[in-house]
Amino acid sequence: MSGAARVLIAGAGPVGLAAALRLAQLGVPVTVLEKRMQLGRVQRASAWLPPTLEVFEQLGILDGVLRTGLQVRRIAYLRAGTATPLASFDFSLLAGETRFPFRLHLDQGSVAAALAARLTAYPHVRLAFDAEVVRVDQDSRGVAVRVGSALGDRVERGAYLLAADGMHSAVRACLGIAFDGVAMARRLLQVLTPADLRVLVPGATPATWIDAPGGWCGLLCMPDLWQIAMPLPDDESDEAALDEAALRARLARFLPIGAALLPLVARAVQPVRRQVAGTYAAGRVLLAGDAAHLAQTRTGLNMNCGLHDAMAAAEALAAALHCPDSADAALELYARERRLVATGQLLPYADRVVPGDAASAADLVDAAADGARARAWLRSAGMLDMPGFRAAVAGPGLPA
Ligand SMILES: Cc1cc2nc3c(=O)[nH]c(=O)nc-3n(C[C@H](O)[C@H](O)[C@H](O)COP(=O)(O)OP(=O)(O)OC[C@H]3O[C@@H](n4cnc5c(N)ncnc54)[C@H](O)[C@@H]3O)c2cc1C
């Protein structure tokens, strides 16, 4: 098997595209294989945290995303029906620790589009649509990937493969890598509205959590829409939750004004998952992003963590190509470190951030009132206490 020095990437989501761009910057030829006919545009992750903004800067897309996204500097916790925040946290407390003391709200499709546009500047990168990875073989010289498309099957060859093909990763399945976790019964009902919720919810900021008896609700403002997320009880079916009357009755518990007439442009039920791959490396294949880990979306960290996987994976793959003698060490270091971030930090943090019972509400109030605790809270929520990516074992002479 040979693919010279080319790296193959399965999946053109934000993680695959970010890895491709970093590899391109490092001078490595890349082929991205995407099963869809175009980039995904479905509304999904939307909050980008300070360390990820540094990644965007390194990838050369920061100015563009700052222009289109919404900079959110305050997170508010409200009790339904009261305008005075139960607690609020101001990112300016982190001004001494990061050049980006805010969250950027922008849908992940726009970020993926910005990454893909930037990739066109690199002639050694190929982005192939209608290219579904269906089988992976490898030997000591490289990987061979069978790709299905409307025009028939073909084989793509490379030195290494990065699996960034999402939660149902075909690459992970082909390699028999376990994706263990707790099958959580919890689900989220998500709706999108173009109405400005700051008008309907006094005290709301563009990142607001509302507690009400028996539940909570998250309101996230994006440049042109608000996303509303509410957990569902285990015994309620998806169909029942999506029913118009039931949905508006649930909304009314959090939005006393306007729930009956709120314009809704989308609604969906999403399972809450908690899973991590048994290993992030198998021979010449690395895993990153949702292919490697899933944590509940309320924290907003899963996507951000995936972007940092992408950068670390790209550095490790470039180092492996540059120094074949230490290639195994570079890949193992990536796998060990990034899996530890997921199991040691991402998942425990996501588990702690459980919707507000009385104890956690009291804890929030105390934390917000105490400068040092508020700063610590913001550092966790902003991912500043989680290791980001760092250059693996890049040898001397690797292009900057
Ligand atoms: C409804 C929803 C809401 C979410 N909200 C949030 C949020 O608010 N905050 C947050 O942090 N996270 C959120 N997430 C999670 C976030 O969207 C993911 O963490 C993120 O998309 C992971 O990026 P990725 O590139 O790893 O995977 P994906 O974005 O899933 O991209 C994988 C890509 O691989 C392609 N692909 C799949 N299989 C193959 C194959 N066999 N061959 C070739 N290509 C393939 C897919 O078409 C896709 O383009 C949400 C997820 C969902 C579903």
- Walk me through the domains of the chain, giving residue ranges and CATH numbers: 7-45+62-69+106-182+274-354 (3.50.50.60), 187-270 (3.30.9.10)
Tell the residue nearest (CA) to atom 4 of ligand 1. Answer: 44
Helices (H), the chain: 14-25, 50-59, 62-68, 108-119, 170-174, 197-200, 238-242, 244-254, 301-322, 327-341, 347-352, 358-369, 371-381
Half-sphere exposure of 235 (CA within 13 A, CB side): 0
Q: Which of the residue ranges 20-24, 343-347, 393-397 would you say has the lowest mean pLDDT?
A: 393-397
pLDDT band at 184 (very low <50, low <70, confident <90, very high): low
What is the Å distance from ligand 1's center to 166 Cα?
5
Mean pLDDT of the chain: 90
| Statement: residue 183 has pLDDT above 70 | no
What is the Å distance from ligand 1's center to 272 Cα?
14
Q: φ, ψ for residue 256 (rounded to 5)?
A: -60, -25
Average pLDDT over residues 233-258: 92
| Statement: residue 298 has pLDDT above 70 | no
| Statement: residue 359 has pLDDT above 70 | no
Of 149 and 387, more confident: 149
Q: Which of 222, 231, 215 shows the shortest CA–CA distance to 193?
A: 222
What is the Å distance from ligand 1's center to 41 Cα?
11
Would you state the pLDDT for residue 150? Answer: 94
Average pLDDT over residues 203-222: 90
Would you state the pLDDT for residue 338? Answer: 96
Q: Are 127 and 114 in contact (CB under 8 A)?
A: no
CA distance 31 to 124: 8
Would you state the pLDDT for residue 160? Answer: 98
Q: Which of 395, 78, 58, 24 shows the shortest CA–CA distance to 216?
A: 78
Would you state the pLDDT for residue 215? Answer: 83
Indicate the top mutation candidate among 48, 285, 303, 309 to test ligand 1's pocket, ranked by most ligand atoms within 8 A of CB: 303
Q: Which atom of ligand 1 is nearest to the CA of 14?
A: 25
Per-residue pLDDT reduced to its tens digit, 38-90: 998 777 788 999 999 999 999 999 999 999 999 999 999 998 888 788 899 99
pLDDT band at 393 (very low <50, low <70, confident <90, very high): very low
Would you state the pLDDT for residue 397? Answer: 35
Instruction: Report percent pLDDT > 70 for the chain.
Output: 92
Per-residue pLDDT reduced to its tens digit, 262-287: 999 999 998 888 899 999 999 999 99
Of 9 and 186, more confident: 9
Q: Which of the residue ranges 80-94, 189-203, 277-291, 304-318 would you say has the lowest mean pLDDT?
A: 80-94
| Statement: residue 351 has pLDDT above 90 | no
Indicate the top mutation candidate among 107, 297, 298, 305 to test ligand 1's pocket, ranked by most ligand atoms within 8 A of CB: 297
Ligand 1 site: residues with CB under 6 angstroms? 10-16, 33-36, 40, 44-47, 108, 132-133, 164-166, 170, 270, 289-290, 297, 300-303, 306
What is the Å distance from ligand 1's center to 82 Cα?
36
